[in-house]
Structure 1
Amino acid sequence: MLHSAAKTYQTNQVTTATPSELTLMLYNGAIKFIKQAKVSLSEKDFAKTHEMCIKVQHILYELINSLNQQYPVSQDFSKMYDYMLRRTVEANLRKDIEILDEVEGYLVEFRDTWKEAMILAKNQG
């Protein structure tokens, strides 16, 4: 019952979110899953590491697909997302926590910058 209520809340949160809030949720999800991948890797649970890396990859694909190509900066974002995607695949194949650390660092930077942009946009109107 509690699990069902939590799932309903989560679904409502996603379906009522603005596009900028959805992007923030994607960043937060990717960070959460990459942290879980690192824990699993340190515990030598390679199946779970793989599962978490795949989740990060799916989020990065979603971020790539959500870019509005009318803006030149989208090309830069696309290149960075693609880089993080390739590095996540490499980390998964090599079971390399340092690569996961690198990708996590980029994701945190993107997330934090995105949060600042959301605040600025809200304050400007």
Structure 2
Amino acid sequence: MRSSLQSYRKVSLDTEISVASPHRIIQLMFAGALQRLAQVRYAMEQKDIANKGIYIGKAIGIIIGLNNSLNMDEGGQIARNLSELYDFMLRKITEANINNDVKAIDDVCEILRTIKEGWDSIPADKHNISAHSEAG
């Protein structure tokens, strides 16, 4: 049952991504990073080293994807600031991994939530004008 549910969720997410706008894909990436970081936090609390490593790897991959999606040519100072924040988050996650530091994970989540709230508040008619590129 559990594997069927996971398969359904993956197909559902794959379907959503295939029809999603670039703006929506970035929203999904933010949500995915936050979910992975929550799983990292739980694994740390449970002293589950294997899953901590898996979820840290996934969170890092998503944040790298967000950083790589920045449009540095058209995004100007906002894109540069976001890139610096993503780099900071990656360093914090690495330190959190080494030190089993739940507070550092919470700090990264707070930053990500703030960026996500800003992204979510972009009006629909402005979705094509942003620091993140249209390629996602």
Alpha-carbon deviations, 1:6-58, whole Å to 9, x = none?
Answer: 33222110111111100000000000010011111101101111111111100
1:82 matches 2:87? yes
Distance 2:124 2:6 in 1: 35
Gaps of 5+ in 2: 128-136
RMSD: 1.8
Which is further off, 25-34 or 45-54?
Answer: 45-54
Residue type at the aligned position of 1:60: I
Give the secondary structure class of the aligned counterpart of 2:15.
helix
Q: Please report the TM-score for the alignment, with normalisation by the length of structure 2.
A: 0.83
Q: 1 or 2 for the larger relative contact order (CA 8 Å, sep ≥6)?
A: 2
Structure richer in helix, relative to its length: 1
Alpha-carbon deviations, 1:82-112, whole Å to 9, x = none?
Answer: 1001111111111110100100111111111
Partner of 2:134: none
Partner of 1:95: 100
Aligned length: 122
Give the secondary structure class of the aligned counterpart of 1:44.
coil
Q: Percent identity?
A: 27
Partner of 1:21: 24
Ranges of 4+ aligned residues in structure 1 off by more than 3 Å: 1-6, 121-124
Equivalent of residue 15 in structure 2, options 12, 17, 25: 12
